[in-house]
Each structure stands twice: as structure tokens, then as C-alpha cells.
Amino acid sequence: MTYNLLINGKLVAGDATMDVINPATEDVLAACPRASKAQLDEAVAAAKAAFPGWAATPIEERKKAIAAIADVIEANANDLARLLTQEQGKPLADATGEVYGTAAFFRYFTSLDMPVKVIEDSDAKRVEAHRKPLGVIGAIVPWNFPLILMAFKVPPALLSGNTVVLKPAPTTPLTALKLGELVKDILPAGVLNIITDANDLGAELTAHPDVQKISFTGSTATGAKVMAGAAATLKRITLELGGNDAGIVLDDVDPKTTAPQLFQSAFQNNGQVCIAMKRLYVHESIYDKMCDELAELARNAIVGDGLKQGTQLGPLQNRMQFDKVMETIEDAKKTGNVIAGGSRAEQKGYFIQPTIVRDIEDGTRLVDEEQFGPVLPIIKFSDEDDAVARANASPYGLGGSVWSSNADRAYAVADKMNSGTIWVNKHAELAPNIPFGGSKNSGLGTELGEEGLEEFTQLKIINMAR
Ligand code: NAD
């Protein structure tokens, strides 16, 4: 299988190549093109040249192209899902869900429009608000959900008349490149360009004078670099960054029936989810029982190669993340009690046994930092307001959840939690029509929904005297 960049409507080799590793086997999965700075410049130039034509294309035509991309993703779902499992590690069923989700996100945006809003229409004046495309969008994506996170950016960017240079993460570039091959003939040349790098072109894209906006998903540390890098050209930015979502479980919850949902919220995609539940506060009256239930689920979870039938948790996506999570677990052992997992799995690949740590407190790395892996700290609380205060004390503010059998009690707690999204009796549910964005160090701006679409536009007012 050969992979190519997509620049100006053509599939081209990279000026260099790099190896992509299958995290389940640690073997080389494919040689992947690595774009040079000159190729990045070509991609931006192609997107810039394609912009006026695409912006002038009627929105109904743009919608048709976006719907055709959704169709082609679905038509190739099996191949894409298999490739996604091989490069990312997630179980095939999850990969398949991500592929169909990606198609659904593309399709959702074809249901939106950008109507002119009349702000005032009086004897004195008529004032209209228009939404205009920005130009070339740089879309930068991480390695945990290579396809669906791209679908937060590319369809709204295209729908609103922008052109795009997409850059996937260096360890998961193959599905994006495969997508480039599939959509090459759907879009006019230069409207969507896909380049890959070894972590060296994101900064170049961010600083590029011909790029009008960076839509970035990744870590908070890199997000800060994007913000700094965008300053010189006053670029628009949307930043979807890290999180340390708290779940607060009130005393009226049944541990047995709730534990499986909590487990899924924390361990889905091996905890490599920006909105995974990353610390769990449980009321003291049900603490022991909940710890036992979660530990049991962790011990019984089937860890293995995502291509193997029945696998629930695959490997960590890359070596660096594997080492980071193992270090966090070792550190947690100093103050907490590990009641499930706690070590790497006995097989080749970046596998870690799902790990539950109890009797741990705020002020430790595992509780305070974003672990981004299959390890969950469970913290005991006695007072609801104290649990909320601890949940809110984090510099992150992406998501959070409250769990209770009483909707009014849950709502009152949800209202006090400071994050971009608070779920009640569920966690980490995203849908294309629901706006999503972080508070504090978890991000800037919004993706998805109508608000997410607007972020790819410039507001333009036409104010006419009568
Ligand atoms: P990362 O920040 O290391 O990399 C993300 C992307 O940025 C990659 O494509 C990378 O090549 C690129 N990049 C690297 N240096 C850059 C620079 N100087 N300028 C511009 N781009 C640069 O993140 P990661 O390790 O791939 O992903 C994990 C992180 O992403 C976690 O913190 C996670 O919470 C976060 N994340 C957030 C969301 C969200 O929607 N809020 C979703 C998924 C992941």
C-alpha cells in the first residue's frame, strides 16, 4: 500500500518518508510520506488559489461535495476502520464507529446554512449581518481520534467556503492520507490539501502568512504554542485542548448498575480521550462498593490487538504516551492503593493493564494532571460542595459529569461545575449538532453545531442609510 500527500488535487510523494508503527505489534505498518516545508508552501499556495472559486461556488454545490465525501467514507468504511485500528490501536468495533461517525459529522454540516440576518430594518436604516469565509484554514489534528476530530473541522470549513490544509498527527497519518485519495476527485483541486509531518510543520502552518485561521486539537502545551505562533499574523484560532474531567458520584447512586457506565466513560479508547472521565469523586457512603465494582470491571477487561475479535482495550497509541502513563502509575503507587492493573501487559505492543487507584487525593500527579491513559483515580468525598470545589480547582475545564438517581440534585451540582460541558448520568457524549468547547486551559472557541460553523467565518455588517 502506498500513501501520498494531497496537494493541489494531486497525490504526490513526500520529499522524505517516515515509518508509521502499529502500536499493537511495534512493527512498521507503512512507510508514510513526510512533507517538506516547500510542500507545505505548495499546499498553502494551492488552497489560496482555490479559495476565490470555492467561496463563489453556491452553498448547495458545496453541500453536495460534502455529502459525497460522507458517501465515500461510508462506502470504504471497512478498509478505513481496519487501517484506523492498525495505526491508532483502538478495537475494530470502535474504529468502525469512528468511521461512520466521521461520515455522519460530514453529513450533519450539509444541514446548516448561513442566512443573512437582518439586525434592523427601519425608516432610518437597514442593517444586515453576513457570514463570509475566511480563506485558507490550517486544520491540525491529534492521534487519539484521527478521523472524527478532522470531521469537526473540515466539513464546516468547506461548507462556509474556505479551503483547507489538513495536517494529521505524525503517528496516525494514514487514515487521513487514505481519505485524501478517496476525496481527490470530489473537490476541485486545492480545496482540500493533506500534508504529513514529523511534528515540524504545525508551527510553520501556524505562522504562515497566507493561512487565515488555525483550527487546532491537541495538548494544552502545544495549544499555547499555536496561540503564540498565530499572534504575529493575527490569525483566528480555535483551540480544543486537554482536559481533566471530574465525575462526581452522589450518595444515592447504585454502584453495581452505574459502575459499567463510569468504567466506559474513563476507559473508552484506553482513556485517550480529551473528554474521558479522568478523576472520579465518589461519596464515602458508597466508596468501597464502587471501588470494588470498578476494579472488577478493570480486571475482566480484555486487552489486546484491536483487530482481534472481543478486544475491549487496545494498546496505547505510541511509545511516548505509554511511557508517560507508566510513570504516572508508578507515581500514584506512592500515595494510592492500586486495586486493579498497575503494570504493563505481558505482550509486545504498548499495552497497559486497566488500572484503578483508590485512597488517592488531589495534589498527586494522577489526580491533578491529564493522564490520557487507562488509569483512573477514585477519590473519596463526604461533602458535595467540597467535591465540586475540588473538581473546579483544576486549571482545565473541558467536561465533567454528575451521577445521581435524583435529577434535581444532579442538576444543582451540574450548575455549579465550571466546564465547557457537564453531563448528567452520562459522560463524554458528543454529537455534531451540540456545540463543544473548553473553558480555562482546555481551549478557546467552539466546534460543532451552528456556533462551530460560525467560527470559520468573518462577520460582515452591511449598514445602509434609508
Ligand atoms: P499534541 O499537542 O502533541 O499534537 C497535536 C497536533 O499538533 C499534532 O498534529 C502535532 O503534530 C501538532 N503540533 C506539534 N507541535 C506543534 C506546534 N508547535 N504548532 C502547531 N502544531 C503542532 O497532542 P497529541 O499528543 O497528539 O494529543 C493529545 C492531546 O490532545 C491531549 O492533551 C488531549 O486531551 C488533547 N485533545 C483534545 C481534544 C479536544 O477536543 N479538546 C480532543 C482530542 C485530544
Which pLDDT tens digit goes with each residue over 29-84? 999 999 999 999 999 999 999 999 999 999 999 999 999 999 999 999 999 999 99
Cell numbers that stand for 268 in this block: 473508552
**Which residues on adjacent β-strands are paired with residue 121?**
126
Domain-wise residue ranges, the chain: 5-241+442-465, 245-430
Domains 5-241+442-465 and 245-430 share a fold: no
pLDDT for position 273: 98
Instruction: Please choose, from the candidates 236, 155, 241, 166, the residue with its C-alpha nearest in 3D space to the C-alpha of residue 201.
Output: 166
User: Does residue 219 line the site of ligand 1, with CB under 6 A?
Assistant: yes
User: Does residue 203 line the site of ligand 1, with CB under 6 A?
Assistant: yes
| Helix, strand or coil, per DSSP, at residue 357 | strand
Report how far residue 444's alpha carbon sits from residue 438's, in angstroms, rounded to the nearest whole number: 7
pLDDT at 314 over 90: yes
Mean pLDDT of 168-197: 98
pLDDT for position 255: 98
Catalytic residue among 240, 293, 370, 447: 240
Tally of helices (H runs) and strands (E runs) in the chain = 15, 22
**What architecture does CATH give domain 245-430?**
3-Layer(aba) Sandwich (3.40)
Is-above-0.95 flag for pTM?
yes
- 160: Cβ contacts below 8 Å, ≥ 6 apart: 114, 131, 133, 453, 456, 457
42 is catalytic: no
- Residue 219 Cα to ligand 1 middle (Å): 4
Q: Contact at 8 Å (CB) between 5 and 180?
A: yes
Report how far residue 135's alpha carbon sits from residue 133's, in angstroms, rounded to the nearest whole number: 6
- Number of residues written out for the chain: 466
pLDDT at 320 over 90: yes
Report how far residue 288's alpha carbon sits from residue 344's, in angstroms, rounded to the nearest whole number: 25
pLDDT band at 347 (very low <50, low <70, confident <90, very high): confident
Cell numbers that stand for 270 in this block: 484506553
240 is catalytic: yes
User: Does residue 218 line the site of ligand 1, with CB under 6 A?
Assistant: yes
| Helix, strand or coil, per DSSP, at residue 11 | strand
Per-residue model confidence as pLDDT tens digits over 213-257: 999 999 999 999 999 999 999 999 999 999 999 999 999 999 999
Q: Contact at 8 Å (CB) between 437 and 398?
A: no
Mean pLDDT of 184-198: 98
Average pLDDT of the chain, as a whole number: 98
- Residue 141 Cα to ligand 1 middle (Å): 6
pLDDT at 404 over 90: yes
Number of Cβ within 10 Å of residue 430's Cβ equals: 18
Pseudo-torsion of CA 146, 151, 157, 162, nearest 10°?
Answer: 60
Per-residue model confidence as pLDDT tens digits over 125-162: 999 999 999 999 999 999 999 999 999 999 999 999 99
pLDDT for position 221: 98
Q: What's the longest Cα–Cα distance across the chain?
A: 78
- Ramachandran region of residue 228, left (φ > 0), alpha (ψ -120 to 50) or beta? alpha
pLDDT at 13 over 90: yes
How many percent of the chain have pLDDT more than 90?
A: 99
pLDDT band at 346 (very low <50, low <70, confident <90, very high): confident
pLDDT at 294 over 90: yes
User: Does residue 398 line the site of ligand 1, with CB under 6 A?
Assistant: yes
- Residue 178 Cα to ligand 1 middle (Å): 21
Instruction: Please choose, from the candidates 209, 203, 214, 225, the residue with its C-alpha nearest in 3D space to the C-alpha of residue 455.
Output: 214
Number of Cβ within 10 Å of residue 156's Cβ equals: 29
Mutate to test the pocket of ligand 1, among 195, 211, 217 (most ligand atoms within 8 A of CB): 217
pLDDT for position 182: 97
pLDDT for position 318: 98
Per-residue model confidence as pLDDT tens digits over 367-397: 999 999 999 999 999 999 999 999 999 999 9
Report how far residue 18's alpha carbon sits from residue 32's, in angstroms, rounded to the nearest whole number: 5
Q: Contact at 8 Å (CB) between 59 and 113?
A: yes
pLDDT for position 160: 98
Q: Which superfamily does 5-241+442-465 belong to?
A: Aldehyde Dehydrogenase; Chain A, domain 1 (3.40.605.10)
Ligand 1, atom 22, lies closest to the CA of: 202
Mean pLDDT of 158-187: 98
pLDDT at 211 over 90: yes
pLDDT for position 18: 98
- Residue 118 Cα to ligand 1 middle (Å): 39
∠ Cα 360 316 181 (to 5°): 145
User: Does residue 420 line the site of ligand 1, with CB under 6 A?
Assistant: no
Catalytic residue among 32, 87, 204, 274: 274
215-252: buried (b, 16+ CB within 10 Å) or exposed (e) per residue?
A: bbbbebebbeebbebbeeeebbbbbbbbbbbbbbbbbe
Mean pLDDT of 6-30: 98
Ligand 1, atom 35, lies closest to the CA of: 218
- Backbone phi and psi for residue 396, each to the nearest 5 degrees, phi listed first: -85, 160
Mean pLDDT of 327-347: 95
| Helix, strand or coil, per DSSP, at residue 81 | helix
pLDDT at 1 over 90: no
pLDDT for position 246: 98
